[in-house]
A and B are shown apart, each in its own frame.
Chain A
């Protein structure tokens, strides 16, 4: 963090803003910087950061100071980060927030996401190195002088001109993109034809294929995004990837499941896992296919589908009888309960509370009173 210098945050002539992202906290190496959460800005020349609450507090570092940078994926409770390694402090460095630091890298922690796009833009700027082509004039002093005002105005005209150029280029890019897309789709179509031909052969049993070949074929289909009803019938939709995923889920979900009474709706799991990953997210189908493998892999989790169609992941150790018995206790205690009241009592989602009550009803412990005021459950005295 000792590479940063104070700045008034104004862009210089020839300097263009590329992207900005709020909700970013800076780290001095591995330690949180003694600054609050702010907005990080990337220009063609610098990396800037401004405190969200106090706009006067603004610091920057030239992009030429960056050696290299990498992504750090999010974890549970930890935001995704970009780690930036920097050259040593230059001799004539202006004052900044840190006099010294034992680290030669900083981190940007993206508490409100945006790291994917920021990383991409940073990569672009670091590749193009536009600051080398358009060196900026002397840094503008902190006080607003007439000279500074004039420079800013020229900057705005320059920005508008750049926008116009960009618009023209965008149009050209789009038509080229559509052309390339058509060509790409032609090639993709060929792949689909080949896989259809193979699938038909498997169906007609022309030339039996081995288990290994089936596994390989399925992974090819997965890569291309081609569905295949033939292999799905006999071998299911899972692949090696889903087996791996199932094992990962077995680890990740233990604690969250225990916190939530042993059961989570699949949509909850989807959000939890993808929020933690930050990038390289799972598709809903990936999640479902992985969960379907829990049983065959002997993992302590199960995918379960309720009559209503709601899908949940539950701990295998989760005892059905206990859950039903405790539901009966709760209802008897209060005389009667709706799904909403039960949810509040247990700290669970309304959806899952309802499923518990329905289960208890199914085995005959509870009975319902279904009126326009809502669905209420009573202990079954019949």
Chain B
């Protein structure tokens, strides 16, 4: 640890350095840090003023939240980095997204045994809204996406796979490479995919197609219907739209509370 030396020589040296810097018109880092403290207090006041007028807007208006987030990103600020940040403490943005994070984790956990840890953003949105009740604040898909991005920090395999104009949300650390992703995208239209379809659309050899499908089966992301007319069909429960209406069973609900 570098400690500033004490003693006449060190003091003299420091004075000289300060003088040199002031001469060139630059300010020492330590002076700037002291100054930053004051500037921070001023900024805090502005933020408090803003909060007193518009805190409601952030909570109620998802469009406003998007604007807010994008502006923060543009200037290089992450309002969700810490619950101890000003943004979180004064605007309450933190609690909104962190609580959403909890709800997302719980929904994914409850449905994992059904869909292997893969769920469409639509279904996730639907279930989260249901779980929040009629009078909770509105939550948009943009809100979910931002909350999920934050969850990634906890290393549990949270990720988003672009599929059919929206996303599949992955909540398990299953290895999914480009091949798997492309097959998922192919399956999006009908909820299932066959080896022939993969060979026709993607021009892969049988080996490669089987390998990818086997991996999805092993990870519990796909189910095999070997009795389908024609050839076996690989279904993705994450893409089942009928499942959307089925409520979570009591056993699944138990999974939700850690």
Contact with B along A213-224 (1 / 0, CB 8 A): 100110010111
Write out, one digit per residue, whether chain A residues 223-259 have a CB within 8 A of any chain B CB (1) or not (0).
Answer: 1111100000000000101000000000000000000
Instruction: Count contacts on A: residues with CB < 8 A to the other chain.
Output: 81
Chain B contributes a number of interface residues (CB within 8 A of A) equal to: 79
Interface residues of A in 120-173 (CB under 8 A from B): 173
A interface, over-half SS: helix
Residues of A contacting B35 in the complex (Cβ-Cβ under 8 angstroms): 194
State whether the Cβ of B40 lies closer than 8 Å to any Cβ in chain A: yes
Known interface pairs A190-B39, A271-B102, A309-B173; A184-B47 also in contact (CB < 8 Å): yes
Q: Does B201 contact A (CB under 8 A)?
A: no
A13 interface contact, C-beta 8 A: no
**Interface pair B64/A174, CB less than 8 Å apart:** yes
Residues 87-114 (chain B) with a chain A CB within 8 angstroms: 87-89, 92, 94-95, 98-99, 101-102, 105-106, 112-113
Contact of B95 among A174, A264, A280 (CB under 8 A): A280
Which residues of A are found within 8 Å of B99, using beta-carbon distances?
113, 274, 281
Instruction: Tell which of A29-37, A64-72, A99-107, A195-203 binds the partner.
Output: A195-203
Chain A residues closer than 8 Å to B68, beta-carbon distance = 181
B71 lies within 8 A of chain A by Cβ:
yes
Contact status A188-B75, CB under 8 Å: yes
User: In the docked arrangement, what's the CA distance between A157 and B29, Å?
Assistant: 64
Pick from B83, B113, B217: contact of A281, CB under 8 Å: B83
Closest chain B residue, CB of each to CB of A270? B154
**Distance between Cα atoms of A86 and B29 in the complex (Å):** 55
A209 contact from B30, B76, B258, Cβ within 8 A: B30
Contact with A along B19-63 (1 / 0, CB 8 A): 001000010111011011101100100110010011001010100
Interface flag for A298 (CB, 8 Å): no
Asked if A370 and B218 sit within 8 Å, CB to CB, the answer is yes
B106 to A, closest residue via Cβ: A271
Q: How far is the CB of B148 from chain A (nearest CB, A)?
A: 10
In the complex, B145 has a CB within 8 A of chain A? no
A317 at the interface (CB under 8 A from B): no
A sample of 10 cross-chain residue pairs with beta-carbon separation below 8 angstroms, ordered by A number, consists of: A177-B53, A177-B54, A207-B29, A211-B1, A283-B83, A283-B88, A283-B98, A284-B153, A287-B154, A288-B153
Contacts A223-B84, A239-B84 known; 10 new A-B pairs at CB < 8 A = A184-B47, A208-B4, A209-B29, A217-B33, A222-B82, A225-B72, A225-B81, A271-B105, A283-B94, A372-B214
